[in-house]
Structure 1
Amino acid sequence: MAGIKIKYTKTERARQKKVLKVSERMLPLFEAMEKSLMATVNTISERIEKIREQIERNRKIATPWVAVMSDSWVDMNEFISVNEIITRPVDVAGVRVKQFESVDFKLIPIRDDAPLWLDDAISLMQEQLQLLAEIECLKEQIYLLEEELLDVRARIKLFENRLIPNAKIAIRKIGQKLQDDERLTIATAKVVKTSKLQEVSV
């Protein structure tokens, strides 16, 4: 409350009580949002880790081909490329994000004289590219969720450290001042009454 001037009126006390009531009602909602966002970020992080494990498994599967591919005249990039990464907007923990759907590939027909392993290599490359695209979408989701998380935490701090304690202090100080004023008014009235009685008796 340092540096904040308080109006010692019943209207101000009523306003501060309303601020306190709203703040105490909103705080648990933002705390629940924080927990939901954190849980969602953790779930997405776990999904990314699983995808990375799958990518690594695929790399191990492709290891026997690497030497063959490097010695071959075949250039994989001639046969497969990405046209578009397809996503759709969804709400995740109250945040609008893009959810990965699929990858639209441009595939060139394989010639008859192509190596026998090329079909399998292209299929595996498709899977790897889809997994990498999904990771990028999930990373973007985490970024947006963490941005929202920062905002939610700032609001929680505002309620916990400023709005609620300041309202409580204001209500207490205004209440004390109003009580003091009431006592002073009663005391003054008694003095005036006593003085008048004394004047009459004289």
Structure 2
Amino acid sequence: MAKLQLNKSSLARESQSLRNYERFLPSLDLKRQQLMAERAKAVRALSQTRGQIGTLTRQVGRSLPMLSNQDVDLTGLVRISDVRLATENLVGTHLPRLEAVEVEVKSYALLAKPHWVDNVVAALREVLELRVRVQVDERRLVLLDGAVKTITQRVNLFDKVLIPNARANIKRIKVFLSDEEMAAVVRSKIAKRKHSAEGTV
């Protein structure tokens, strides 16, 4: 770190820096609050989606006990064929947003499968969509956690380091300049006295 120069130009630089820091801090703090609010929303959304998966799984278990029948082959019946994501910019943080999930159902002979397979297909389709949503929600949360951490570090840097340092430097320079000014006045008076004493001799 460069040694602090104790002069008026250094005082002007430190004062300008302090003004800049104090001007930027509120906008950084507002950005942090927005990110934290969005993070809280993302936590709720993830919890809600996981809850929907749990509810659906329990409903399927209750309404379709015949799923335990090993004679009916359900493998590969439903699969995800496409996932479309968009990117949204939240105060400089790029977050994924789920636009659509396309689920492909393998064709099966309606007469060869039991009637309840249609309900299984609908439930599987819904669970697959919800699982994709969970993955997107988890990714959003990871990105928001990182953004909140970064912006909090910046806010702390301004609030706890840069602003207090600038204030301390300004105080130190002012004290030094004040002492210098007083010393100059004293030297001037001493020189004046000396000069007037020499004139009278």
- Answer yes or no: same fold by TM over 0.5: yes
Please say if 1:9 is aligned against 2:7.
yes
CA gap of 1:73–1:114, structure 2 versus 1, over 3 A, is same
Separation in 2, partners of 1:92, 1:62: 38
Q: Where does the alignment leave 5 or more consecutive residues of structure 1 unmatched?
A: none
The question of whether the paired residues in 2 share the 8 Å contact of 1:76 and 1:122 is answered with: no
The number of equivalent residue pairs is 200
* Equivalent position of 1:41 in the other structure: 39
Separation in 1, partners of 2:39, 2:162: 29
Aligned Cα root-mean-square deviation (Å): 1.8
User: Residue by residue, what CA displacement relative to the aligned partner does 1:3-62 show, whole Å, maximum 9, x if unpaired?
Assistant: 873210111111111111111111222222222111111111111222222222211221
State the TM-score, normalizing by the size of structure 2.
Answer: 0.91
State the TM-score, normalizing by the size of structure 1.
Answer: 0.91
1:84-163 → structure 2 map (5 Å cutoff) = 84-112=82-110, 113-163=112-162
Name the SS for the 1:59 alignment partner.
Answer: helix
Shift of 1:72: 4.3
Q: Where does the alignment leave 5 or more consecutive residues of structure 2 unmatched?
A: none
The question of whether the paired residues in 2 share the 8 Å contact of 1:40 and 1:93 is answered with: no
Separation in 1, partners of 2:27, 2:7: 31
Separation in 2, partners of 1:107, 1:187: 95
CA gap of 1:151–1:79, structure 2 versus 1, over 3 A, is same
The question of whether the paired residues in 1 share the 8 Å contact of 2:64 and 2:116 is answered with: no
Identity in percent: 23
* Equivalent position of 2:66 in the other structure: 68
CA gap of 1:103–1:153, structure 2 versus 1, over 3 A, is same
* Equivalent position of 1:175 in the other structure: 174
